């Protein structure tokens, strides 16, 4: 029997390759706490997927929510940049689920997927994660969805750190949403740099505030004698030169309470969704969404004073005031790291 040199070379090659393939490193098994922490964060984000958050929102004013009791400590608090601090269970739950996009009136937007694309937990009490939300811009069940030129999906990212108590529940979080203003622009299909869009958004806030914030929660009491002409004059709009914009704005459709609100808010800075800790219209847009969930708590934030939320915060307070919120400045770093000599 004769072997060609090619056959011999092939045998040698296979003999050297097979052991290498079998010697590839295997991934170390995950610890129980790593699995637990991953599942906890995964479950939290799955409740933001529409319509799962509806059941949570329906219970948001309760002291305990059975679906969330294994996931959040009753004393949970945290920060979402650049939205604000949420210092208790109720406010935290309202943020996570009350602000999750969902269909509203004629506008369809909803989270349809939430995927953890990054996750690490090297200690039972701490984890870091990144989630990507897939957000439908129209009803996916609607005929013609996905046709060329139609709005389909966009995405939103949230990244940051979590801290867990001894029972594995989240008791602190420090999270960040990048490019939120750009996301809001895509979600609404509107240019928030446009004066008309800003004024129309302000008008919608005032109509919503008067609808949601009633009785003891009323924020804008009618200013007797206020007229559309005075409001237009304060805006610097001329009935002759700015007639197309004035017609599109349609202030004549507002009742006196709504017009009073519009006069007050249109005098404020419109702001940006990338900085919501401020006395701005954009801050009130967000808190009007929360007022729909819990008017007793959030109507003051939509009001003229901002209720302690839509007020001006310094850069230092927004970014670095950790101790009052987390108990110390190293909440998301295990104490063992402090012993490392650098």
Mean pLDDT value of segment 131-143: 93
Consecutive H or E run containing 192: none
- Backbone dihedral angles phi then psi of residue 160, each to the nearest 5 degrees: 155, -160
pLDDT at 251: 97
Q: In the prediction, which pLDDT does 286 show?
A: 97
pLDDT at 13 > cutoff 70: no
Query: What 3-state DSSP class applies to 27?
Result: coil
Q: How sure is the predictor about 201, in pLDDT bands with cuts at 50, 70 and 90? A: very high
Least confident among 15-29, 156-170, 236-250: 15-29
Quick one: tokens of 76? 């949970």
DSSP-assigned states of every residue in 59-114: TTTSS--TTTTTTEEEEEEEEEETTEEE-SHHHHHIIIIISS---BTTB--EEEEE
pLDDT at 313: 95
pLDDT digits (tens, 9 = 90+) for 42-65: 999 999 999 999 999 999 988 899
Instruction: Provide the residue ranges of all domains of the chain, joining segments of one domain with +.
Output: 32-189+318-335, 195-269+278-312
Residue from 162, 189, 201, 152 nearest 79 by CA: 162
- Least confident window among 66-75, 90-99, 141-150, 271-280: 141-150
Identify the DSSP state of 207.
Answer: H
256 CB neighbour count, 10 Å cutoff: 16
Task: Give the integer Cα–Cα distance in Å for 15 and 69.
Answer: 57
Give the separation between CA 87 and CA 163, rounded to whole angstroms.
14
Give the whole-angstrom CA distance, residue 84 versus residue 339: 33
Average pLDDT over residues 235-243: 93
Q: What is the pLDDT of residues 305-331, one digit of tens each?
A: 999 999 999 999 999 999 999 999 999
- Using CA atoms, how far apart are residues 237 and 216, in angstroms rounded to an integer? 34
pLDDT at 72: 98
What pLDDT was estimated at residue 338?
83
Q: Which of 114, 120, 121, 117 is nearest to 130 (CA)?
A: 117
* Alpha helix stretches (DSSP H) within the chain: 5-22, 32-46, 52-57, 89-93, 180-188, 195-212, 228-234, 243-249, 256-265, 281-293, 295-302, 315-320, 323-326
DSSP code for 289: H
At 14 the pLDDT is 44
Question: 250 is written with which tokens?
Answer: 């349609």
Sheet holding 126-136, edge to edge: 84-86, 72-81, 170-176, 153-164, 126-136, 110-123
Q: Which band of pLDDT confidence, cut at 50, 70 and 90, is reported for residue 334?
A: confident
Residue range 166-187: mean pLDDT, rounded: 98
| Tens of pLDDT, residues 295-304 | 999 999 999 9
- Cβ atoms < 10 Å from Cβ of 79: 22
How far is residue 259's CA from residue 251's CA, in Å, rounded to a whole number?
A: 7
Q: Residue 144 — φ and ψ, nearest 5°?
A: 90, 0
Per-residue pLDDT, 6? 42
Q: What is the mean pLDDT of the chain?
A: 92
The rounded percent of the chain whose pLDDT value lies above 70 is 93
- Of the pLDDT bands very low, low, confident and very high (cuts 50, 70, 90), residue 166 is very high
Q: Is the pLDDT of residue 15 over 80?
A: no
Which CATH fold would you assign to the domain 32-189+318-335?
Answer: Nuclear Transport Factor 2; Chain: A, (3.10.450)
Residues 6+ apart with CB under 8 A from 339: none
pLDDT band at 23 (very low <50, low <70, confident <90, very high): low
Question: Does residue 9 surpass a pLDDT of 70?
Answer: no
């Amino acid at each position: 029997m004769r072997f060609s040199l090619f056959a011999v070379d092939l045998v040698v090659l296979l003999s050297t390759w097979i052991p290498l393939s079998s010697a590839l490193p295997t991934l170390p098994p995950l610890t129980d706490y790593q699995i637990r922490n991953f599942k906890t964060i995964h479950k939290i984000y799955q409740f933001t997927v529409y319509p799962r958050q509806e059941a949570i929102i329906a219970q948001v004013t309760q002291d305990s929510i059975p679906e969330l009791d294994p996931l959040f400590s009753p004393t949970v608090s945290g920060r979402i940049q650049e939205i604000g601090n949420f210092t208790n269970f109720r406010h935290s739950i309202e943020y996570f689920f009350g602000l999750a996009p969902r269909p509203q009136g004629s506008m369809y937007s909803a989270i349809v997927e939430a995927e953890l694309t990054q996750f690490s937990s090297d200690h039972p009490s701490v984890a870091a994660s990144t989630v990507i939300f897939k957000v439908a811009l129209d009803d996916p069940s609607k005929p013609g969805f996905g046709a060329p030129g139609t709005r389909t999906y966009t995405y939103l990212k949230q990244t940051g750190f979590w801290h867990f108590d001894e029972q594995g529940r989240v008791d602190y979080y420090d999270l960040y949403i990048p490019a939120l203003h750009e996301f809001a622009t895509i979600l609404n299909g509107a240019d928030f740099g446009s004066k008309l869009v800003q004024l129309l958004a302000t008008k919608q806030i005032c109509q919503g505030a008067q609808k949601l914030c009633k009785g003891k929660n009323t924020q804008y009491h009618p200013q007797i004698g206020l007229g559309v002409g005075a409001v237009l004059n304060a805006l610097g709009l001329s009935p002759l030169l700015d007639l197309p914009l004035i017609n599109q704005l349609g202030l004549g459709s507002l009742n006196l309470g709504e017009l009073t609100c519009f006069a007050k808010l249109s005098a404020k800075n419109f702001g940006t969704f990338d900085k919501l800790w401020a006395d701005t219209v954009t801050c009130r847009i967000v808190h009007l969404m929360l007022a729909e969930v819990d008017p007793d708590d959030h109507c003051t934030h939509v009001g003229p004073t901002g209720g302690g939320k839509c007020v001006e915060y310094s850069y230092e307070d927004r970014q670095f005031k950790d101790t009052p919120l987390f108990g110390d400045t190293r909440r998301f770093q295990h104490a063992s790291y402090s012993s490392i000599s650098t």
